[in-house]
């Protein structure tokens, strides 16, 4: 006999396991996401900040030189454009004069009409007066031809100058755009440097100052080594000069120096006297004095005080005069820094220089080893 009992319902045990596994995975994912969001970027070390700030100042120095270059080019181009516009105006006056002359001749021809020469001869009251008038008209025709030639010449020259003025204005516009871009670049780099420094704690600022002191101390040590080397080299040169002066036939030794050496020494003294007088004045990018300077503005002004004109930018200043080795530096020489030649100072002797360092600092004396040396020149 068949059983009428209700069949037992089987319980599925796999579903809850799947649900728990999904929930667990979701929890792990959520925790991982929260951990990733919560983990902040590691704060840069004081050493990293110093390197970054120094690099930003160097980049700002490079941008400053681009600004100086664009500013100088803009001023020169503006002067050229103004001269061209003056020339165009003068040629326009000459063109108008030629046009008025042609108008006078055209009006005269209109008044005289187009009567044939034979008719004019027969209608003339006095035949002799006709011949006189005919000769005058021949001369008038010659002058008319000259007037036409002059007009065409002036017209061509005026058109050429107008085209040249248009091209110069386009160049000026491009240069001024570069000037604005360079200015913005400088401001951006300096802003980034200020932001980095502002985030330092008092303790970190103290550590940064200590790192700076160590850097300055090492630079001074190297300067002192150079000073000893230069002093020894000078003593040796003086000794050889004295020995040479004592040799038979060498004379009294007077006149061994040259006028050019004396002149160079005088100029160097004038350069350094000017530079020393600027110590304490603030660095301002793009400034050429007298209240403030950037690095190449100071060197340009110092050499100008000695009667020597040198270019505005470090990139042009490094190309003048005579290249000299670091060991052979003399007071007044220009020392350039970094691979991009973005900084320059005036050598004062004993491994030291006078320079306008960077924004926030004043013109001061410092070791030439404070920054990586690119090379040096003697302007005159």
DSSP H helices in 199-313: 202-246, 259-277, 295-305
Measure the CA–CA gap between 21 and 27, rounded to whole angstroms: 10
Measure the CA–CA gap between 315 and 337, rounded to whole angstroms: 11
Measure the CA–CA gap between 159 and 195, rounded to whole angstroms: 54
* Active-site residue identified among 91, 189, 267, 343: 343
**343 in active site:** yes
Largest CA distance in the chain: 168
**355 in active site:** yes
Measure the CA–CA gap between 126 and 137, rounded to whole angstroms: 17
Measure the CA–CA gap between 253 and 184, rounded to whole angstroms: 60
Omega before residue 88 within 30° of 0, cis: no
* Active-site residue identified among 161, 281, 312, 355: 355
| Residue 323, strand partner residues | 377
CA atoms within 13 A on the CB side of 111: 6
Measure the CA–CA gap between 142 and 165, rounded to whole angstroms: 35
Q: Mapping DSSP to helix (H, G, I), strand (E, B) and coil, where does residue 86 land?
A: helix
Query: 12: phi > 0 → left, psi -120 to 50 → alpha, else beta; which?
Result: beta
R_g of the chain computed on alpha carbons: 41
* Active-site residue identified among 147, 165, 179, 295: 295
Measure the CA–CA gap between 137 and 114, rounded to whole angstroms: 13
Classify each residue of 337-372 as buried b or exposed e, where b means 16 or more C-beta atoms within 10 Å of its C-beta.
Answer: beeebbbbbbbbbbbbbbbbbbbeeebbebbbbbbe
Q: Which residues are catalytic?
A: 295, 343, 355
């Amino acid at each position: 006999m068949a059983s009428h009992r209700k069949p037992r319902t089987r319980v599925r045990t796999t579903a809850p396991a799947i649900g728990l596994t999904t929930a667990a995975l979701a929890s792990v994912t959520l925790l991982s996401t929260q951990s990733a969001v919560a983990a902040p970027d590691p704060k840069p070390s004081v050493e990293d900040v110093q390197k970054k700030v120094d690099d930003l100042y160097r980049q700002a120095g490079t941008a400053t030189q681009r600004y100086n270059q664009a500013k100088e080019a803009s001023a020169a181009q503006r002067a050229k454009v103004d001269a061209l516009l003056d020339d165009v105006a003068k040629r326009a006056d000459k063109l108008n004069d030629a046009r008025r002359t042609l108008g006078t001749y055209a009006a005269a021809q209109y008044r005289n009409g187009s009567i044939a020469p034979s008719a004019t001869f027969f209608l003339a009251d006095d035949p002799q007066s006709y011949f006189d008038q005919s000769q005058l008209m021949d001369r008038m025709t010659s002058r008319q031809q000259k007037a036409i030639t002059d007009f065409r010449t002036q017209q061509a020259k005026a058109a050429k100058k107008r085209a040249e003025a248009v091209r110069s204005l386009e160049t000026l516009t491009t240069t001024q755009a570069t000037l604005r871009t360079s200015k913005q670049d400088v401001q951006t780099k300096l802003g980034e440097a200020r932001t980095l420094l502002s985030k330092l704690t008092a303790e970190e600022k103290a550590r940064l100052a200590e790192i700076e002191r160590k850097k300055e101390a090492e630079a001074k040590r190297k300067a002192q080594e150079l000073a000893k080397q230069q002093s020894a080299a000078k003593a040796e040169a003086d000794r050889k000069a004295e020995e040479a002066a004592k040799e038979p036939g060498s004379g009294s030794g007077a006149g061994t120096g040259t006028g050019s050496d004396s002149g160079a020494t005088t100029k160097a003294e004038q350069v350094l006297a000017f530079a020393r007088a600027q110590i304490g004045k603030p660095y301002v990018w793009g400034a050429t004095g007298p209240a403030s300077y950037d690095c190449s503005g100071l060197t340009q002004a110092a050499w100008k005080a000695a009667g020597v004109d040198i270019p505005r930018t470090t990139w042009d200043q490094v190309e003048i005069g005579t290249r000299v080795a670091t060991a052979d530096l003399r007071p007044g020489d220009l020392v350039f820094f970094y691979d991009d030649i973005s900084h320059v100072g005036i050598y004062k002797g004993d491994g030291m220089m006078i320079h306008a360092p960077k924004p926030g600092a004043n013109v001061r004396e410092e070791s030439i080893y404070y920054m990586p040396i690119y090379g040096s020149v003697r302007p005159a």
